[in-house]
Structures are given as structure tokens and as C-alpha cells.
Amino acid sequence: MSSSDDNRGLASADEETKERVAKAGGEARAQDKEGLSEAGRKGGETVSQDREHMSEIGKKGGQR
């Protein structure tokens, strides 16, 4: 990563600003239960289409 990348967007903000932005974003998402549900559903559908990945998960299910 070049040093010029550090001066772009949120990466260039001070820590207080970064914390404030992160908190505001988290609060907005937490209030959007329907949106979170839909995102989880879409992610699950995408992952479950990868048969090899699902097979590996199933094999590990009985292991500790």
C-alpha cells in the first residue's frame, strides 16, 4: 500500500472522526432489521450454491 493511499477517504480522518462514522453506521444498520435479514439470506444463498464448500462444512460438523 503506498503512502498516497493513506490520504484518501476515511483513512485520512483523525481517530475521533473514524469512531464517530463507525458508530453512526452501526446504529443505522442495527435499526434496519429487514435489511439485515435480507443480506443474511442473500449471503446464505450464495454460499450454499458452492457445493464443495458446503461438503467441507458438513464433514467438519462432527469434528471438534
Q: What pLDDT, in 10s, does the model give residues 3-29? A: 555 677 878 889 998 888 888 876 666
Torsion of CA 27, 40, 46, 49, to 10 degrees: 160
Residue 1 has pLDDT above 60, yes or no: no
pLDDT of residue 30: 63
Distance between CA atoms of residues 58 and 39, nearest Å: 23
- Kindly list the domain boundaries of the chain, sorted by start residue: 33-64
Spell out a b/e string for 32-50, using b for 16 or more CB atoms within 10 Å of the CB, else e. eeeeeeeeeeeeeeeeeee
Residue 55 grid coordinates: 461438503
pLDDT score, position 58? 87
